[in-house]
Amino acid sequence: AAVQADGRIVVAGYGEDPAGTSPYLVLARYRPDGALDPTFGDGGVVTTTLADDPRSMARANDVAVARDGSIVAVGYVAVPETNDWAVARFRADGSPDLGFGDAGLARVSLGDGTFEEASAVTLAPGGGIALVGYHEASWNLARLRADGMLDPRFGDGGTVRSIAFGDPGDIVADAHGNLVVTGRTAPTGSYDATVMRFRRDGRPDRRFGTDGVVTTDLAGGTEDAAAVALQPDGAIVIAGSSDPDPPDPETWTDVLVARYHR
């Protein structure tokens, strides 16, 4: 979900009809009182498969709203034998932004024949779009220009690949374009909550943690940093879950919230 400056709420995800067709991307916008916004899409809802192929599949995992009201949703788009990160931009009324990518859709492919999915998006200063996602059991980053093309000033031709093994969760950009990404990695055999910071050009920020990485293991089990936010003073707040090892049958999974110095 993302909240617009006027209080309207945009949510993104996926849907399937009762016939069990392939998943399709769904956007919905609500007024501040919780009613669907009739000025958006069809009665407040937009659905799309992001491709002309009837066998295509699409879903959104995250959404962001720009200052001009445009909406960016990220996830994946798949047709037989091809599965790419999907970055779709919509105008404020829910119609595709035809000036972005290919008729409103930009694809990011990190390899052939493998499952690829963008987990989260953040809008960087200057109109850039930064993503964290999944490819071959690893975290990967990408940054697009405002027109939907990969930004060659970032990483290797616009991507930073295989930065950690595990599951990426969220991403946020600070006022300078530096990126903080969170999720879970397995440095010691079990998953730990992980926070990484990168400079705006895609290089790790070596001043943060150990060579740009901080891992948190609370109970010897599994910790996951599913979401991240920056406070005004630059402190980093994560939210996720914690499972002790051995499992506690009384509590099982706990909510995890942690804050880190900048």
Tell me the per-residue pLDDT of 187-216, one tens digit each, with 9 for 90 and over. Answer: 667 889 999 999 999 999 999 999 999 999
Share of the chain above pLDDT 70, in %: 97
Q: In this predicted structure, what is the pLDDT of residue 197?
A: 97
Check residue 234 and report its DSSP letter.
S
Who wins on pLDDT, 225 or 113?
225
- 3-class DSSP assignment, residue 127: helix
Q: Specify burial of residue 183 (Cβ count, 10 A radius: 0-12, 13-18, 19+).
A: buried
What is the rounded distance in angstroms from the CA atom of residue 101 to the CA atom of residue 104? Answer: 5
pLDDT at 85 exceeding the cut of 80 = yes
CB 24 within 8 A of CB 48: yes
pLDDT at 15 exceeding the cut of 80 = yes
Instruction: Report CA torsion sign: 190, 191, 195, 201.
Output: positive
Name beta bridge partners: 42. Answer: 45
Instruction: Report CA torsion sign: 224, 185, 158, 261.
Output: positive
pLDDT at 112 exceeding the cut of 80 = no
What is the rounded distance in angstroms from the CA atom of residue 72 to the CA atom of residue 117? Answer: 15
Range in 60-64, 89-93, 113-117 with the lowest mean pLDDT: 113-117
**16-49 pLDDT tens trace:** 877 766 789 999 999 999 999 999 999 999 999 8
Q: In this predicted structure, what is the pLDDT of residue 110?
A: 87
**142-181 pLDDT tens trace:** 999 999 999 999 999 999 998 999 999 999 999 999 999 9
